[in-house]
Structure 1
């Protein structure tokens, strides 16, 4: 492995931005100082004018392997992630077959070990009838348990009250939930199907999967977590109403119940269905601007702890079907940091808060070992950003296997110049180096 000396960078880390150098030795950060002299045969990179961020840890992606590889592979989506400064990901269990057994979970880790350019972890899936398998999950090398408390892509709904009580009361691992109330969604789906039996406009999606569906389900999850003192993390918060359910003014690592918001719920709102239609159909739905604005403000209060992507690729042909047939989900893992940097220009959040919400708090909440911060002794997971080099999103520079993005044609104000994954220069100036792959995430849990 090559060793590196990164010179003259602006280092964004732990609430401040400082100018200095970073030495990388044997994959880890060996030294951080205002000036470091070269030694040995290390490669020197002059990063004058560029910023170094801790690599983003995306706690919610769908990379579709095994079973749905016409949409994506772990290898293809991990490359896209690394091109976007995302150095680690946590992938969801609604692949085919669903990751409902330790054997299937192990198979996914094996695929990543031989193909993922980014660091990786995989959620163990909970179903209505696999409690015994769920409770076997190793808390030192698996990120958590995923429960779909509302049906979404993959048919993994857990709606058995006794099962939910058992998982919440017995799991020692963090439980991550998709929260949408199933009876509400079913009733409203029937209502709108009667109104639009054949062709339906995409703007009905947030009317079907509405605020009430989200709030009812999130409230239920939180009640269960409080009852059993469960470590709960609610994914992709999309409504203003849900924000009142979470604590503010407390560090994420001190909370038993934490939350996540996704970049698309911060970026898009219901007005965008007119132009993008099913491209932005996702669960939970992108709703009207009231919610987007409330979510943005909540990044300041601390009621939202993590920013993620919920990257969920489908083929262009699948998304071009009519509303009732088009699957939910959109590909985003190549551009979350660039989206957030543009939001920083709008005053939504600071560069230091971007580092906090995409890396620091993810590491704290999931108790990830030696990652998420730019610290001596930690793995060198780094995103090097050029704020003087705008990037236009075009098909030619997309690395998703599905080869489309709702951001096509948009020009970001910055670009990712280089990405280090576990000390390996995995991406540099548009080119990948796959001579070394990512590592399995490990967790420091009692």
Structure 2
């Protein structure tokens, strides 16, 4: 039998830090104890290292099929593993979009061939695919994604009756992108009249404005309360929206919310002048006051989950003027390091980072046997050196797009190793031979 022993690690798990050994057998955690003395197939002395559950990212865009000049499942999942992310949930706005059960299963089949990490995929909602949504097996997808305000082909659900149908009949959690498109279009026209095509990127949070975010988010919350739907609002960016959510643990909530790493890190008051299109994303990065309010909401539980919204584009695409430069930035290789920097800055304790990136995601999406360091669970684990600095440089970028919004920044912590299903996929900058991750199973 294949056994793996991690000795002398500092475990951060379920609200506590403990010194322990962890024995893994055939991919699952068999034993956690102060000392385990057996002869294992492989033993790692983790003295001085911190052991965390692998990050579960509930929102990524890996661009396959159809947009693979930007990214693909293989390249981005490999980068994610190097960054300590062991599981991802991928979005449906690809080409063709994932709006049928056939397309959903095709993506799962592709991931089974090429994904370094564990995976699940969202079924996308449209104005007219309610029958596909009704046919969805709750164990078949992590959720149903609704774009309530983002122009992504035919995936913008902007008819009230279509929205109500999805909220009424979805057999799984509904994840929403909330911005009001007519308000944004009016702002775009106003700024185009003022600047022509040379709109400064600092105007992005004024065009994708806070009012558009709140109008759409509050509408989604109202629909969920009316229909009883399980609702998860993605990438919250404004202080006002936080009032829509209740503080406290994720368990038992009907309506939950997510914050993304870049919205916890960057702020429009300081960063657009230096970063420009590289931090253009939808919804937009807002003010430092909004960023700080979102950080506080993570602490008090109004924000339940931290994810990335990893959304790569090529540098050539990003170099275009405002209206042509696409929105989104790559993050999965650096997201955990960025959050660990916030720990070093005193923003979040380690236990809270683990809760929001692993425990709460597993609870909210009802993921089976993942998200915790527990006996019997799959060994999705990351070893970090909290006190080994690493500078993010372009030559280290593992994304197909080849760049990072953190280039030049020196992180205070380093990802040393990542285990996926008990296999050491990444260690000290090198990858093992490829083996695929597993499709997520759900307690539904």
Q: Bin the TM-score by the shorter chain.
A: over 0.9
Matched-pair contact (CA < 8 Å) for 2:75–2:399:
yes
Judge which range, 433-442 or 47-56, deviates more.
Answer: 433-442
TM-score, normalised on structure 1? 0.98
Task: Look up the SS of the partner of 1:129 in the other structure.
Answer: coil
Q: How does 1:143-158 map to 2 (within 5 A)?
A: 143-154=142-153, 156-158=155-157
User: In structure 2, what is the Cα distance between the partners aligned to 1:397 and 1:141?
Assistant: 35
What corresponds to 1:24 in structure 2? 24
Q: Per-residue deviation at 1:154?
A: 5.0
What corresponds to 2:86 in structure 1? 87
Structure 1 segments unaligned to the other structure (5+ residues) = none
What corresponds to 1:210 in structure 2? 209
What corresponds to 2:423 in structure 1? 424
What corresponds to 2:254 in structure 1? 256
Q: Per-residue deviation at 1:153?
A: 4.6
- Residues 60-107 of structure 1: per-residue CA shift (max 9 Å, x gap): 000000000000010000000000000000000000001011111111
Q: Per-residue deviation at 1:42?
A: 2.2
User: In structure 1, what is the Cα distance between the partners aligned to 2:276 and 2:186?
Assistant: 23
Judge which range, 394-403 or 428-437, deviates more.
Answer: 428-437
Matched-pair contact (CA < 8 Å) for 2:167–2:229:
yes
What corresponds to 2:288 in structure 1? 289
Q: How does 1:52-201 map to 2 (within 5 A)?
A: 52-154=51-153, 156-201=155-200
Matched-pair contact (CA < 8 Å) for 2:126–2:154:
no
User: In structure 2, what is the Cα distance between the partners aligned to 1:152 and 1:162?
Assistant: 19
1:35 and 2:40 matched: no
Q: Per-residue deviation at 1:398?
A: 1.0
User: In structure 2, what is the Cα distance between the partners aligned to 1:138 and 1:116?
Assistant: 23
Task: Look up the SS of the partner of 2:212 in the other structure.
Answer: helix
Question: After TM superposition, what 4+ stretches of structure 1 lie above 2 angstroms from structure 2?
Answer: 152-155
Matched-pair contact (CA < 8 Å) for 1:393–1:408:
yes
What corresponds to 1:346 in structure 2? 345
Task: Look up the SS of the partner of 1:371 in the other structure.
Answer: coil
Task: Look up the SS of the partner of 1:103 in the other structure.
Answer: helix
What corresponds to 2:13 in structure 1? 13
Task: Look up the SS of the partner of 1:278 in the other structure.
Answer: helix
Task: Look up the SS of the partner of 1:203 in the other structure.
Answer: helix
What corresponds to 1:266 in structure 2? 264
Matched-pair contact (CA < 8 Å) for 1:123–1:146:
yes
Matched-pair contact (CA < 8 Å) for 1:2–1:424:
no
Matched-pair contact (CA < 8 Å) for 1:38–1:44:
no
User: In structure 1, what is the Cα distance between the partners aligned to 2:263 and 2:146?
Assistant: 21
Task: Look up the SS of the partner of 1:254 in the other structure.
Answer: coil
User: In structure 2, what is the Cα distance between the partners aligned to 1:152 and 1:170?
Assistant: 24
Matched-pair contact (CA < 8 Å) for 2:149–2:177:
yes
Q: How does 1:223-242 map to 2 (within 5 A)?
A: 223-242=222-241
Matched-pair contact (CA < 8 Å) for 1:142–1:442:
no
Task: Look up the SS of the partner of 2:186 in the other structure.
Answer: helix
Matched-pair contact (CA < 8 Å) for 1:117–1:434:
no
Q: Per-residue deviation at 1:434?
A: 3.6
What corresponds to 2:333 in structure 1? 334
Structure 2 segments unaligned to the other structure (5+ residues) = none
Q: How does 1:294-443 map to 2 (within 5 A)?
A: 294-443=293-442
User: In structure 1, what is the Cα distance between the partners aligned to 2:387 and 2:261?
Assistant: 22
Matched-pair contact (CA < 8 Å) for 2:126–2:155:
yes
User: Closer, same or farther in 2 for the Cα pair 1:153/1:281, shift >3 Å?
Assistant: farther
- Residues 32-76 of structure 1: per-residue CA shift (max 9 Å, x gap): 00000123x421100000000000000000000000000001000
Q: Per-residue deviation at 1:300?
A: 1.2
- Residues 388-424 of structure 1: per-residue CA shift (max 9 Å, x gap): 3211111221110000111011110011000000111
Matched-pair contact (CA < 8 Å) for 2:197–2:322:
no
Query: How many residue pairs are counted as aligned between the two chains?
Result: 443
Matched-pair contact (CA < 8 Å) for 1:153–1:327:
no
Matched-pair contact (CA < 8 Å) for 2:116–2:434:
no
TM-score, normalised on structure 2? 0.98
Matched-pair contact (CA < 8 Å) for 1:152–1:283:
no
Judge which range, 375-384 or 102-111, deviates more.
Answer: 102-111
User: In structure 2, what is the Cα distance between the partners aligned to 1:256 and 1:316?
Assistant: 40
User: In structure 2, what is the Cα distance between the partners aligned to 1:26 and 1:154?
Assistant: 44
